[in-house]
Amino acid sequence: MTLFTLLKTSAARLAGGLALFLAVAGAPGDALAQTTGDGPALWVVKDADSTLYLFGSVHVLRPETVWASPRVDAAFDSAETVWFEISNPDDQAALMPLIQQHGLSPARPLSSLLTTEEVADLDAAARTIGASAAQLDPMRPWLAALSLAVAPLAKAGYDPASGVELALKARAEAAGKPIQAFETVDKQVAILAGLPEEVQLAFLRETLEDFDEATTLIDAMVTDWAEGDVEALDRLVVQDMKAASPELHQALLVDRNTDWADQIETLLQGSGTTFIAVGAAHLAGDDSVQAILEQRGVEVDRIED
C-alpha cells in the first residue's frame, strides 16, 4: 500500500469533514443490515466492575457495505457510554476554521515546492474534482493531498454518511447514550498539519502517482476489515506504513494508541460498560491499543461469537 493510502486511511475522519466530501448523518436509530459472516473484530477488556468493548471502524464506506453483527449489537446495546476518536465527525462548523488556519500557506504555494511535471499532474487530478492546480496552489501539501485522495473514493460510492461512526453516533443519540471522545478535531488537524513538510510532500506525490488506484486499495482494506481479518489489516496498513515512513507510523498510530491506552486504563478505574469505536488500523499489529494494554498487564480478549 502506498504512503498516500496509509495517511488517507488514518485521517479518513478528517477527510469526511472536508467540504468536497460532506458528511450528512443518516436517520437516528435506523436498523443496520446484519452480516452473514463473522463480521469485523470485537474485543473486550474487563475488571471487577468495568467492561470495555473495542471495535475497529472504517470512517467511509459504500452504503451497501454490511458490517453489523449480533455480537456488536449486543455489546453496543449493553453500553452505558460510547467513545469515538472525536465526538463530532460531522461538524463542518468546527472543522472549516481549522482548515483555514492550518491548511493554507499562500506565501509558500505548492507550485514553489513541486516540479513543473508534478504541477501538471496536480492540475490533471484537480480537474477530476472540478478544480485546478491554481485553485489548490495556496494549500499546504497535506490538505491538497487529502482533498485529492478522497475524490476517487467519492466517485466510487464511498460516503462518510455510511461510515461506522455516524451510524453508531445516531444510534447512541437515539438511545440517550452519552458520547465521549479520545481527541478533538483540533488535535487531529494539528497532527496532520504538524507533519514535516517532506512527509506532506511525499503524501502529495504518492497521491498523484497512484491516483487511479485509490479505490482498489481501500476496497482491499474494507474487505479485510469486514471479514475480521486483523492480520491482513496489519500487513496492508500498519506494517506498510511502518516500512514506508516510521515517522508517520509513530505520529499517526503509536503516539495516539499510547494516549488512548492511557485513557482506557483511566476508564477501567471507574465502573460500568463502555463501547469504544476507533479506526481499525489502531486495533491491528504490535503497536495496537490492545498490544499496549497487554504490555501493561491489562487482559484483552477477542470475542469470537
Q: State the 10-residue block means of pLDDT for the chain, 305 residues long.
A: 39 34 36 70 96 93 91 96 86 80 94 96 90 95 87 81 90 96 89 90 84 81 93 90 82 94 97 96 96 98 90
Q: Which of 259, 128, 100 is nearest to 182 (CA)?
A: 259
d(CA 67, CA 81): 21
Nearest-Å Rg of the Cα atoms of the chain is: 19
CA angle, 259 then 264 then 267, to 5°: 135
Give the per-residue pLDDT at 124. 92
Q: Look up the pTM and report it.
A: 0.85
CA–CA distance, 283 with 277 (Å, rounded to integer): 10
CA 163/CA 98 separation, integer angstroms: 22
How many helices (H) and strands (E) would you count in the chain?
A: 16, 6
Q: Which three cell numbers stand for residue 150?
A: 478522497
- Chain-centroid distance of CA 176 in Å reads 25
Contact 40, 268 (CB under 8 A): no
**pLDDT on residue 128:** 84
pLDDT (0 to 100) of residue 83: 97
How many Å separate Cα 95 from the centre of its chain?
15
Triad 213, 217, 220: Cα angle to 5°:
145
Q: How far apart are CA 100 and CA 81, in angstroms?
A: 33
**CB-neighbour burial class of residue 248 (10 A; exposed 0-12, middle 13-18, buried 19+):** buried
Res 104: pLDDT: 95
Three-state SS at 127: helix
Backbone angles phi, psi at 46, to 5 degrees: -135, 150
Residue 102: all three cell numbers together: 492550518
DSSP-assigned beta bridge partners for residue 28: none
Query: Hey, what amino acid is at 166?
Result: L
Residue 45: HSE in the Cβ half-sphere, 13 Å Cα cutoff: 26
66: cell is 454490511
pLDDT confidence of residue 214: 74
Query: 3-state DSSP call for residue 259?
Result: helix
Joined grid coordinates for residue 256: 495516539
Nearest of 148, 200, 169, 199 to residue 59 by alpha carbon: 169
pLDDT at 254: 95
CA 126/CA 148 separation, integer angstroms? 7
Adjacency order of strands within the sheet including 300-302: 179-181, 81-84, 272-279, 50-57, 42-46, 300-302
